[in-house]
């Protein structure tokens, strides 16, 4: 993976997320759903896991700077069952985090992440895999930019007022 590819990917995601500041129609009213704190945490863990997996595959020396990651990185690069689990778990976390969004968005996220997994483990060309990663990140970024509302900043106050039943 080249630096140009990575910077393009980061730029596209940043552009999609920045679009929310420039287009008052985003997120889409009536279609967007707020994430719970648990969903946001699960989605964040999933994105971090997928980023680690990608880093282990394409940025070995950078990931090696993280203490204790050598064995896991080697397992991921071996593309065996352990690598598959290190991909599948965070991919599922991302899809589960989006489960309250529009069904088409959830299905699109699942399909995009499945396509990345297939192109990673089918022995096909790296070029196809990188294109699939780009399209998948674009799809996930679009879902977040157009539909996902962040969790509430503050916990709602508990209503302690007792009401009389008539």
3-state helix, strand, coil in the chain (%, to 5): 65, 0, 30
8 Å CB contact between 100 and 33: yes
Helix axis angle for 126-147 and 103-121, nearest 10°, is 160
pLDDT in tens, 67-91: 999 999 999 999 999 999 999 999 9
pLDDT (0 to 100) of residue 112: 97
For residue 148, the cross-strand partners are: 33
What does the pLDDT average to over 84-108? 97
Question: Where does the pLDDT of residue 156 fall: very low under 50, low under 70, confident under 90, or very high at 90 and above?
Answer: low
Where in the chain are the domains?
A: 32-147
What global pTM score does this model have? Answer: 0.86
- Beta carbons of 143 and 98 less than 8 angstroms apart: yes
For residue 160, pLDDT over 60 is answered with no
pLDDT of residue 153: 82
């Amino acid at each position: 993976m080249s630096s140009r590819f990575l910077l393009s990917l980061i730029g596209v995601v940043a552009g999609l997320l920045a679009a929310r500041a420039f287009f008052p129609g985003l997120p889409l009213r009536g279609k967007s759903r707020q994430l719970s704190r648990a969903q946001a945490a699960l989605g964040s863990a999933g994105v971090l896991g997928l980023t680690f997996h990608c880093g282990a595959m394409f940025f070995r020396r950078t990931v090696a700077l993280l203490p204790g990651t050598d064995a896991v990185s080697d397992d991921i690069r071996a593309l065996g069952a352990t690598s598959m689990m290190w991909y599948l778990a965070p991919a599922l976390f991302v899809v589960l985090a989006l489960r309250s969004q529009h069904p088409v968005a959830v299905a699109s996220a699942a399909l995009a992440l499945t396509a990345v997994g297939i192109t990673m483990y089918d022995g096909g060309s790296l070029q196809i895999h990188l294109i699939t990663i780009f399209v998948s990140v674009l799809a996930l970024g679009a879902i977040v930019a157009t539909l996902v509302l962040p969790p509430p900043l503050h916990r709602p106050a508990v209503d302690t007022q007792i009401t009389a039943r008539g």
